[in-house]
Amino acid sequence: MTRPAPPATPDLPAPGPPPAGQPGAAPPAGQPAAAPVARFGPWAWCRWGWRQLTSMRTALVLLFLLAVASVPGSVLPQQGIDPQAVQQYYASHPALAPWLARLSLFNVFAAPWFAAVYLLLFLSLAGCVIPRTFRLAGAARQRPPRAPRQLARLPLAARYQTALSPDEALASAAALLSGRRFRLRTGDGWVSAEKGYLREAGNLLFHLALLALLAAICLGGMFGYKANRLLVVGGSFANTVTDLDAFHPGRAVSSADLQPFSMTLDRFAASYISSGQLRGQPSRFDAYIRYSPQPGAAWRRYDLRVNHPLSVDGLRVFLIGHGYAPMFRITDGTGAVVFDGPVPFIAVEQAGLTSEGVIKVPDARPRQLGFAGVFLPTAVDVNGRLGSAFPAPLNPVVSLVSYAGNLGMNSGAPQSVYQLDTAGLHQLPLPPRPLAPGQSVKLPDGNGTLTFTGYRPWISLAITYDPGTLPALIAGLTALAGLLLSFLVRRRRVFVRAAAGPGGATVVELGGLTRSDASGGFEDEFGRLAAALAQAHQAGPPAVTLTSPAQATAGAEPPVLDETTEGE
């Protein structure tokens, strides 16, 4: 935070300007020029560094850096969100991609430099907010200041005479102000009253909530996790590490911490706009699932939709994608059925959901078989090229390239289930012929038969567990409430002085001051208060004067609010 040089106060022995030649080290203008410069030891440097780190300016710069640093995360494909896209990026930018990977730009949110920014930001905010919290707690408990000597110089002032003695007048004034929930301080010939401490309470609340927000974010990072799963209609899965496609645990998450829920996908319905400019755009997705919160518990039905996640056991399951899984039955050269099931194909374009995928049959004999294929939901022939005209399966067709040989799966080297390693394979001489559901193709060289038996939709799910979400929400709302409170509540002060005047009468002087008039109306409040006091003192209506700001500053000496914590 900018710290306009405070008038030297006991708690802030500002370290003098750092030695020359330190860019950015210049203290804010107004720093006492005569500050001792002679010794600026390591301890002073530490203090100076800490002050810089915990200054609002640094926090804002870090926050800005954080925002800038997350830009590549939304511009470049991210490993954790869309690994397919990262692979595509590698394929299309073979020279650039390794360099981007070296800079962690495909995994921005886990990058060391990103962590550095947010850790510094956390440190900066905590270092800034914690000491402030203590000081605010002090301010909220503070007594009103002593009454200034010259009440007439205050922005609001009133004066009247009463027959009561000064002490009686002060006592009844104190009683009246106290009855209006002012906090009082009395002295010789004066009463000082202040109201609106809720502003400090609000400010305190805001700062505490800010700390809670930081803690909630840390909590989420430590104990939360994210996972992805692709689920074909008719299939089911359990929330265990073995059954997830991708798993990104927080620092303190082990595989035993996963909520043991299970889910089955019964049916998936997608509807698309069938005419007009938005033709082919999805209009609705419904995934009809059943889930069980834990083994042995009853299964419940749920309609999973976009932005309508399933909440189970504290975690949330989002529907984030869909596609088609064509189904194949493959018989090998020995006549054995070596494959019979759906294979998820991945959409390569959205307008027609043209999807690509591979089938691996490592246990086929005499040779392992592999197929790379394209699934077209609504196949159309455009100038001899097959394409998909619509995302719904109006004319589903699959087109395959067949391979035989060694799939390279038995060595144990990890291999993507979405890619075919063709190094050990040779393409089978087969004329390209699109297959409709139910159609078969006989593989040459005695390699067996493939039948395209149908297709099923699949959905992709994002499973997120973030125990910090609710605390963060509560902290955010509390921060907002505190902020509003500190904006809307005014702190206002009323001073009363009573002294024996000429002719035996007592002269009562009132002064009013508000330290900010965000919501206005202090003049009216002061006027009513003055009238009430005058009435209590059996005096005539008081003469209220409102000093204009110009007049007030014209005074040689502005009214002094004698607290050190007052302002900076």
Find the binding residues for another protein in span 313-372 (CB under 8 A).
318-323, 329, 332, 336-341, 344, 346-347, 350, 360-365
Smallest distance, another protein to C-beta of residue 486, A: 6
Provide, rounded to whole angstroms, the least separation between the CB of residue 167 and another protein: 29
Task: Find, among 363, 356, 359, 358, the residue nearest to 377 by Cα.
Answer: 356
Q: Can you tell me whether residue 43 is helix, strand or coil?
A: helix
Q: Could you count the other beta carbons within 10 Å of the beta carbon of residue 292?
A: 18
Kindly write out the interface string for residues 416-445 of this chain, putting x where it contacts another protein by CB under 8 A and - elsewhere. xxx---------------------------
Q: Please, which residue, 232 or 539, has the CB nearer to another protein?
A: 232
- CA 236, 239, 245 angle in degrees (round to 5)? 80
**Least spacing, CB of residue 64 vs another protein, in Å:** 8
**Residue 88 to residue 84: CA distance in whole angstroms:** 6
Which of 27, 48, 54, 403 is close enough to bind another protein by CB under 8 A? Answer: 54
Q: Does 450 bind another protein (CB under 8 A)?
A: no
Helix (H) or strand (E) holding 285: strand 282-292
H or E stretch at 339 = strand 337-342
* Of residues 111-170, those binding another protein (CB under 8 A): 128-129, 131-132, 135-136, 138-139, 153-155
Judged by beta carbon, residue 430 or residue 561, the one nearer another protein is: 561
Provide, rounded to whole angstroms, the least separation between the CB of residue 445 and another protein.
Answer: 19
Query: Which part of the chain contacts another protein (CB under 8 A), choosing from 77-85, 164-172, 378-386, 446-454?
Result: 77-85
To another protein, the closest distance from the beta carbon of 417 in angstroms equals: 4
DSSP states of 358-422 = EEEETT-SSSEEEEEEEEETBEEEETTEEEE--SS-SB-EEEEEEEEE--S-TT-----TT---G
d(CA 523, CA 528): 9
Lay out the site mask for another protein across 496-515 (x = CB under 8 A, - = otherwise): -----------------xxx
Q: What is the token pair recorded at 49?
A: 């560094």
Q: Is 59 in the site for another protein (CB under 8 A)?
A: yes
* 341 phi and psi angles, rounded to 5 deg: 175, 180
Binding residues for another protein restricted to 159-198, rule: CB under 8 A: none
**Residue 104 contacts another protein per CB under 8 A:** no
Instruction: Tell me the C-alpha distance between 312 and 463, whole Å.
Output: 10
Closer CB to another protein, 94 or 567, in the complex: 567
- Regarding 558 and contact with another protein (CB under 8 A), the answer is yes
258 binds another protein (CB under 8 A): yes
Which residues make beta-bridge pairs with 360? 370
CB of 172 to another protein, least distance (A): 27
Residues 217-256 that bind another protein (CB under 8 A): 217, 228-230, 235-247, 255-256
Nearest CB to another protein, comparing residues 155 and 166: 155
Answer for which of 8, 9, 36, 436 binds another protein (CB under 8 A) is 9
Applying CB under 8 A, which part among 397-405, 431-439, 498-506, 552-560 lies near another protein? 552-560
Helix, strand, or coil (residue 456): strand
Of the pair 167, 517, the CB lying nearest another protein is at 517
Is 54 or 402 the residue whose CB approaches another protein more closely? 54
Which two structure tokens, joined as six digits, stand for 306?
A: 């976009």
Nearer to another protein, 52 or 186 (CB): 52
**How far apart (Å, rounded) are the C-alpha atoms in residues 329 and 343?**
11
The reply to whether 297 sits near another protein by the rule CB under 8 A is no
Retrieve residue 349's tokens.
């374009």
Smallest separation, CB 503 to another protein (Å)? 32
Asked if 415 interacts with another protein (CB under 8 A), we say yes
Q: How far is the CB of 306 from another protein (least distance, A)?
A: 5
Torsion angles phi and psi, residue 146, rounded to 5: -70, 155
Among 48, 79, 158, 455, binds another protein (CB under 8 A): 79
Rule CB under 8 A: say whether 485 interacts with another protein.
Answer: no
Q: Is residue 266 a contact point for another protein (CB under 8 A)?
A: no
Kindly indicate which of the ranges 167-175, 373-381, 497-505, 517-525 contains the residues binding another protein, using the contact rule CB under 8 A: 517-525
User: Can you give 468-490 as a three-state secondary structure string?
Assistant: CHHHHHHHHHHHHHHHHHHHHCC
Question: Which H or E element spans position 531?
Answer: helix 522-536
Other beta carbons within 10 Å of 330: 22
The one-character DSSP state at 154 is S
Q: Is residue 81 near another protein by the rule CB under 8 A?
A: yes
CB of residue 405 to another protein, shortest distance in Å: 16
Cβ proximity to another protein: between 405 and 434 the closer is 405
Torsion, Cα 294 295 299 303, to 10 degrees, reads 50
Residues paired with 158 in a beta bridge: 510, 544
State how far the Cα of 341 lies from the Cα of 359, in Å rounded to an integer: 10
> Which residue stretch of 72-80, 93-101, 180-188, 437-445 sits at the interface with another protein (rule: CB under 8 A)?
72-80
By beta-carbon proximity to another protein, the closer residue of 499 and 552 is 552
Minimum distance from residue 48 beta carbon to another protein (Å): 13
Rg (CA), the chain: 37
Q: Which is nearer to another protein, 63 or 389 (CB)?
A: 63
Binding mask 462-481 for another protein (x = CB under 8 A): x-------------x--xx-
**Cβ(510)–Cβ(556) below 8 Å:** no
SS3 category, 544: strand
C-alpha dihedral sign at 511, 516, 517, 519: negative
Q: Is the Cβ of residue 71 or residue 500 nearer to another protein in the bound state? A: 71
CB distance 28 to 4 below 8 Å: yes
Q: Which is nearer to another protein, 242 or 383 (CB)?
A: 242
12 touches another protein by CB under 8 A: yes
| HSE-up of residue 310 (Cα within 13 Å, Cβ side) | 26
By beta-carbon proximity to another protein, the closer residue of 482 and 542 is 482
